Structure 1
Amino acid sequence: MNANTSQKLEALAPDGVPVNVYIWDMDETLILLRSLLNGTYAESFNGSKDVKRGVEIGEMWEKHILKICDDCFFYEQVEDCNEPFIDSLREYDDGKDLSSYDFKQDEFSSPTDDLNKRKLAYRHRAVAERYEKGLARIVDSGTVSVLDELYEVTDGYTDRKGLLGAVFKWNKSKLSGYTHSSDFRGTHTKPCEVPAFRLDTFLRHENVYSSIDVGKLQCFKWIKERYHHPKFRFCAIGDGWEECAAAQTMQWPFVKIDLQPDSSYRFPGVTPKTVSYYFAAVYGNSDTDTNKE
C-alpha cells in the first residue's frame, strides 16, 4: 500500500474510530429476482402468495434488464467476458477519448490478446460512466416510468417497503459494496440490475463485484486489500453458504439473511444494532453503530 492510499484510508477513519465495511450479497438479499423467476419465493409463503404472479414479475424484470443491457451496456458483445469487477482491465485502458469511438465497428472479439483486452477495457470505462449517470439519463422517459411502476409492483408483492431506507442507514460511508452474479445470467447484467433496483445510490460501480468465475472468497480478499488498514473492519451479509464459508475463512462476522416469511433474519428486519453484536463477537466491544456503509 503506497503512502497516498494510506493517507486516504486515514482520512476515512478520523479520530481512530473503527470503520465498518459491509460486503453485501446482492441476489436474494438486496434483490429478489431468481426466486421470483423459479417460484420459490412465493412457495415459501405456503399459498398466501400467487406463484404465477411472482413468476410474471420476475420475467418482466428479466426482459427489461436484458434489453437495457443490450442497448446501453454492450451485453451481446461482452456476455461471455466474465470479469470480476469493472476496473479489472484498467491497466489496458490507454485513456483514449471515446466520445466518437464506434463500439460496433472495432472488431472486438474474445479478450485473449492485449488488443482485445484494451477494447474490453474501453467498454468497461463506458459502462462505468453510464452507470454513474443513472438510468434516467441513458434510457428514455417511457422506460424509466415502466421500471418505476414495476419497482412499486415488486415492492408490494414482496412486502419489502422500507428496504432502501434500511440500506441507507447501512451505507453512510459508502466505503465498499459487494455483489455477486446469479448462476442463470452473465455477469454483465449487474450494471443494469443495480440502478434498476435503485441501489446505485449506495453502490458505486467500482464497488460491485462478480464471483461467478472467481468465487466469493477471492472477492472478499480483493475488498480487504483495498482497505488494508488496522482501522477497517469487515462484515459479510447474505443468504448463502458460500459467502458464509468465505467470511469464516476471512475471520469476519457473517450475518445470515433468511427469506422465509416467519424468520427473524429477514431483511430489512435485521438492524445495525443486531449486527453490532456480531462485530463484538469477532472484534470485541466498541462503537460499531456509528460508522457504517
Structure 2
Amino acid sequence: MAVTLGLRMEEMIFNLADTHLFFNDLEECDQVHIDDVSSDDNGQDLSTYSFATDGFHAAASSANLCLPTGVRGGVDWMRKLAFRYRRVKELYNTYKNNVGGLLGPAKRDAWLQLRAEIEGLTDSWLTNALKSLSIISTRSNCVNVLVTTTQLIPALAKVLLYSLGGAFPIENIYSATKIERLEGTGVTSAVARADGTLSTINLSRLAPRRLKKGVVYPVHCFSGKESCFERIVSRFGTNITYVVIGDGRDEEHAANQHNMPFWRISSHSDLLALHQALELEYL
C-alpha cells in the first residue's frame, strides 16, 4: 500500500512539474534557488510570451547548454531560462494556497483522494507537521525555509501538492541537488526562524528524480546541504540561534558543521514534542 501511494504521488509530482513548471525544459538546467538566474531577466512582459515556440528547449538540447559544470549559454538563451524561472515563481505564488485550481477539476479530485489515503496510512503525519509549521508562520518575526536534496522544480511541485505553499515562501526554498548530484530520493527539510531562532524540520521523502542512463552522478557527501546552510546563514545573519530538526545524517552533519543544535524527528511522538515546544515557546 505504501509503495503504491508513493508511486501515485511521484507520478502526480512529475506530471505537475512537467505540465505547469517547465520541468521538461529545466531538468538539466537545475538551480539551487528560484532567483539564481534572475539577473539574466530583462523584465519583459510574459503575458503573451510563447514558451512553446521560443526555441529554448531545442537550443539547450543541441548545444548542451545545461551542464552540471556551470557552463552558461548565450545572453538570449539565459534570458529565456530566466523567463521560465520567473514564470514558475509567478505560478507558485498564485496557486500556493490553491493548487487544485492549477490542477483542474479531474486531477484535483484525484489529488484530494490521494492526500486522504496518505494521511490515513501515515496516521496524519503531514497534519501534525503542519501544526508546527503553522505556529512558526504566524509569528511576526518568523520565517520557514526549506532545504531539499531533490531538484528544485519537483520540490516545488511537491510543496504545492502537500499544501505547504502557504508555509514556505518560494524565496525560502533551496535545492542541494545542483551541488551534490545525488542519486535516489531527496530528504525535505524546512528551516524556520522564530524569535531569533532558525530551525529545520524534516517532512518526508521526496520522489526520486529521473536519472539518465549512462550518466555518472558524482556524490559529494553532505556538501550540498552544508552549502545551502551557508547561504541561509549568509542571508539571515549569525546573530541568531539555529536549531536543525530532521531525521537524516546529512542535515545532522551539516548542523554540526555550523555548530547548530540538532532536533531529531523519527516518530509521531517527536512531532508532538516539537509542537508542544513551539506552543510553549521553548523554540
TM over 0.5: yes
Q: 1:90 touches 1:121 (CA, 8 Å); kept in 2?
A: yes
Name 2:230's counterpart in structure 1.
Answer: 221
Secondary structure of the corresponding residue to residue 159 of structure 2: helix
Name 2:103's counterpart in structure 1.
Answer: 139
Instruction: Name the CA distance, whole Å, in 2 between partners of 1:221 and 1:275.
Output: 25
Q: 1:170 touches 1:272 (CA, 8 Å); kept in 2?
A: no
Secondary structure of the corresponding residue to residue 33 of structure 2: coil
Which among 60, 79, 84 is matched to residue 32 of structure 2?
A: 84
Which among 65, 70, 88 is matched to residue 127 of structure 1?
A: 88
Name 2:19's counterpart in structure 1.
Answer: 71
Supply the AA of the counterpart residue of 1:180: T
Which structure's relative contact order is higher, taking Cα pairs within 8 Å and 6+ residues apart? 1
Secondary structure of the corresponding residue to residue 51 of structure 2: coil
Query: Structure 1 residue 272: deviation in Å?
Result: 4.8
Q: 2:244 touches 2:263 (CA, 8 Å); kept in 1?
A: yes
Q: Say which one has the larger Rg.
A: 1
Distance 1:229 1:247, change over 3 A: closer
Instruction: Name the CA distance, whole Å, in 2 between partners of 1:75 and 1:200.
Output: 18
Query: Structure 1 residue 275: deviation in Å?
Result: 7.4
Q: Deviations over 1:128-151 (max 9, x none)?
A: 110111123322122222111111
Distance 1:59 1:238, change over 3 A: same
Q: 2:229 touches 2:254 (CA, 8 Å); kept in 1?
A: yes
Name 2:272's counterpart in structure 1.
Answer: 269
Distance 1:95 1:81, change over 3 A: same
Name 1:94's counterpart in structure 2.
Answer: 42
- Equivalent runs, 1:41-190 vs 2, <5 Å: 53-108=1-56, 109=60, 110-111=65-66, 112-113=72-73, 114-134=75-95, 135-159=99-123, 160=125, 161-173=127-139, 174-182=142-150, 186-190=151-155
Q: Does 1:211 align with 2:211?
A: no
Instruction: Name the CA distance, whole Å, in 1 between partners of 2:16 and 2:178.
Output: 23
Distance 1:126 1:105, change over 3 A: same
Distance 1:162 1:176, change over 3 A: closer
Supply the AA of the counterpart residue of 2:107: T
Name 1:289's counterpart in structure 2.
Answer: 281
Task: Mark the runs of 5 or more structure 2 residues left unpaired by the alignment.
Answer: 67-71, 180-223
Q: Deviations over 1:8-40 (max 9, x none)?
A: xxxxxxxxxxxxxxxxxxxxxxxxxxxxxxxxx
Name 1:285's counterpart in structure 2.
Answer: none
- Give the alignment's Cα RMSD to 1 decimal: 2.2
Supply the AA of the counterpart residue of 2:243: C
Q: Does 1:250 align with 2:258?
A: yes
TM-score, normalization: structure 2? 0.71
Instruction: Name the CA distance, whole Å, in 1 between partners of 2:249 and 2:264.
Output: 9
Indicate the percent of aligned positions where both proteins have the same amino acid: 26
Name 2:248's counterpart in structure 1.
Answer: 240
Task: Mark the runs of 5 or more structure 1 residues left unpaired by the alignment.
Answer: 1-52, 277-287
Supply the AA of the counterpart residue of 1:121: A
After TM superposition, the runs of 4+ consecutive aligned structure 1 residues lying more than 4 A away are: 272-276
Number of residue pairs matched by the alignment: 219
Q: Deviations over 1:165-210 (max 9, x none)?
A: 232123334524122034xxx4320121001001111001111110
Q: Does 1:194 align with 2:159?
A: yes
Instruction: Name the CA distance, whole Å, in 1 between partners of 2:266 and 2:47.
Output: 45
Higher strand proportion: 2
Q: 1:65 touches 1:192 (CA, 8 Å); kept in 2?
A: yes
Query: Structure 1 residue 219: deviation in Å?
Result: 0.5
Instruction: Name the CA distance, whole Å, in 2 between partners of 1:228 and 1:166.
Output: 23
Q: 1:235 touches 1:255 (CA, 8 Å); kept in 2?
A: yes
